[in-house]
Structure 1
Amino acid sequence: MKIFEALRQDHEKQRLLLKILAETSGDTAARREYYQELKTQLESHAIAEERHFYSHLLEKDATADLTRHGIAEHHEIDELLAKLDDTDMSSPAWLRYLKALQEKVEHHLADEEQEFFQVAGNVLNDRQKTKLADEYQKEMKQELDTEKLTA
């Protein structure tokens, strides 16, 4: 598997969780569970992506600006997660923050898949793409396992 397929698989999980979560209401067990899963996925993905994809692309002229932009969007996503954490789930504000998060995440994923992956595909060779996918998936598993232990 190449890094792009590994990232796309996680992107699809994030899209699905956002869609499901946007259809929940109130401070329910389902909303809490889906939100925790989404938050874990987003945080783990950002860590693994930055360590095993972005870090290799910061060094390349063709991808440095796109990489910085992606990292900045990860920080914006973190800020929205913090707002969600600080807002009562039954509040209308919580749903507004969730919608903002959904828009931000979907924009970020579209940026990566429609632009960044094509440029990165030109600067990485096949061996690198496979190695980065292996490292990324290993890191994701480790991050998710760690989160389950602390939850």
Structure 2
Amino acid sequence: MAETIFEALRESHAIQRSLIRKLMRAKPGPDRVAIFTSLRIELAAHEAAAERFLYVPMLMDDRGLHPSRDALADHHKMDDLVEDLQTRGHAGRHWTATVGKLSEELHDHLREEERSFFQMAGKILTDPQKTALAKKYRADYAAMKTKLTAAG
């Protein structure tokens, strides 16, 4: 069977979980900066593509309206934390505490998305939509990663 949007999203979720774990353990220095940059790019590319190719179709159905709004709010919270981390030095207690908040928000969001949002979306979207959205998501995600990586 062809890949669905959910499988494509779970792949990025695994990358995000791995990067946030590495960031939580990283000591101040170039490695921490590199891990943070990778996480920042991964989150931004994933969020943009997921919002376009999962949340928008879900917003078009009454059953998906509230859960999609909640997921978008989660993305906004994480974006604010990433922006805060990006504007500070990558050391110190505040930076470490903010990484901890980001980790908590990220894990909560991914868990909620995988455990309830995907199930609801699975009932709303047709099988052909699920596979078509996976292809669109993959293409947009790859383009966003390339664009964000080039921008630094």
TM score, norm. by length of structure 1 = 0.97
SS in 1 for 2:104: helix
Q: Provide the rounded CA distance (Å) in 1 between the counterparts of 2:73 and 2:92.
A: 28
Read off the aligned partner of 1:56 and give its amino acid letter: P
Q: Provide the rounded CA distance (Å) in 2 between the counterparts of 1:125 and 1:67.
A: 18
Counterpart for residue 126 of structure 1: 127
Q: Deviations over 1:69-111 (max 9, x none)?
A: 0001100000001111122211111010000000000000001
Counterpart for residue 78 of structure 2: 77
Q: Provide the rounded CA distance (Å) in 1 between the counterparts of 2:148 and 2:87.
A: 20
Please report how far the alpha carbon of residue 141 of structure 1 lies from its aligned counterpart in structure 2 after TM superposition. 0.4
Counterpart for residue 42 of structure 1: 43
SS in 2 for 1:90: coil
Counterpart for residue 15 of structure 1: 17
Q: After superposing the two structures, state which structure 1 stretch, 48-57 or 141-150, moved more.
A: 141-150
Runs of 4+ in 1 over 6 A off after TM superposition: none
Counterpart for residue 93 of structure 1: 94
Read off the aligned partner of 1:14 and give its amino acid letter: Q
Counterpart for residue 110 of structure 2: 109
Following superposition of structure 1 onto structure 2, how do residues 54-73 of structure 1 map, counting pairs within 5 Å? Answer: 54-73=55-74
SS in 1 for 2:27: coil
Identical positions, percent: 32
Please report how far the alpha carbon of residue 149 of structure 1 lies from its aligned counterpart in structure 2 after TM superposition. 1.9
SS in 2 for 1:81: helix
Task: Give unpaired runs (5+ residues) of structure 1.
Answer: none
How much is the aligned-residue C-alpha RMSD, in angstroms?
0.7
Count the aligned residue pairs. 150
SS in 2 for 1:116: helix
Counterpart for residue 148 of structure 1: 149
Q: After superposing the two structures, state which structure 1 stretch, 67-76 or 81-90, moved more.
A: 81-90
Read off the aligned partner of 2:124 and give its amino acid letter: V
Please report how far the alpha carbon of residue 68 of structure 1 lies from its aligned counterpart in structure 2 after TM superposition. 0.4
Q: Provide the rounded CA distance (Å) in 1 between the counterparts of 2:81 and 2:148.
A: 19
Please report how far the alpha carbon of residue 148 of structure 1 lies from its aligned counterpart in structure 2 after TM superposition. 2.2
SS in 2 for 1:68: helix
Task: Give unpaired runs (5+ residues) of structure 2.
Answer: none
Read off the aligned partner of 2:17 and give its amino acid letter: R
